Amino acid sequence: MFAVVCCAFLMAVSSGAKAENALEKFNAKNFDRSTVIDNQWFPLKPGMKYVWDGMAVDEEGDEEAHSTACIVTDLVKEIAGVRTVVCWERDIVDKEMEESELMFLAQDKKGDVWLLGEYPEEYGDGKFEKQASWIHGCKDGHAGIIMKKEPKLGMTYSEGWAPSVEYTDNALVYKVGQKIKVPAGNYENVIVIDETDNETKDAHHLKFYARGTGLVHIDWRGKKTDQEKMDLVKIEKIGAAEMAKVHEAALKLDKHGYEVSKDVYALTKPISTHSPVASK
């Protein structure tokens, strides 16, 4: 069912697109306890909920309230022979849900955290409008690294590649040793990852990561497009009742993906309710 995309880069170039960073060399054999994601800069423990709050600028240049909530589920989806942790994320813009998304992450033997695909749905007036799914090994999707185990100043890497849905994100370790204060706490020794993509040249997303917590702040620099500024406002452990609701929502998204993404998501294995091994 799955095909390792050995020639993904060549296909991308032949289609007229060009990656700023070489694609990461993906090998399923490099993953062992892949659902134990204990990277110090990007820890993902099942049952944890993160909420970021702030603002974004729309296409007309107007500011709008933006809130994002992400829950690390205890669900698993196998992609290209690798068991991934399923994260469920929702984007609320001006008090309306704009996007609901499943993300599939795994940690390799070195401790790098990989993104093997996403299934995002966009909504308007509470109704489904479109999806932009990409999965490693399906169509032009190629996995990337979201966080290195030991990010060093100046290090660059690809966060994933799927030009058919305009996902061509690249990362640069832009700053290290920073300090920042957000509603969730005060953090030192923060690293800043500068994210760019091929679609919005000269626009940069800045993501601030704290050791032991993960993403604590989002900012921007460069061209005045895709502006966003958000703080981590809450971290909490959800209970069994809320996790049951999360299961229901995630499995509903998973099922819908098979109906509306015939050429990508429908080629994957369904989400499994077999829990990942919990990190200590």
Q: pLDDT digit string (tens) for 213-240?
A: 999 999 999 876 678 999 999 999 999 9
Of the listed ranges 61-70, 154-163, 173-182, 250-259, the one predicted with least confidence:
61-70
Q: Is the pLDDT of residue 149 over 60?
A: yes
Alpha carbons 204 and 184: distance in angstroms, whole number: 24
Of residues 112, 165, 108, the one with CA closest to residue 135: 165
Alpha carbons 44 and 232: distance in angstroms, whole number: 15
Alpha carbons 23 and 6: distance in angstroms, whole number: 10
Beta carbons of 144 and 132 less than 8 angstroms apart = no
Of residues 72, 134, 139, the one with CA closest to residue 106: 72
- Element (DSSP H or E) covering residue 240: helix 240-260
Beta carbons of 193 and 216 less than 8 angstroms apart = no
Hey, what amino acid is at 52? W
List residues bridging with 249 in a β-sheet: none
Question: What is the percentage of the chain residues whose pLDDT exceeds 70?
Answer: 89
- Neighbour-count burial of 268, counting CB atoms closer than 10 A to its CB (0-12 exposed, 13-18 middle, 19+ buried): buried
Q: Is the pLDDT of residue 181 over 50?
A: yes
* pLDDT at site 275: 63
Instruction: Kindly state the tokens that stand for 151.
Output: 């990010």
* pLDDT at site 222: 84
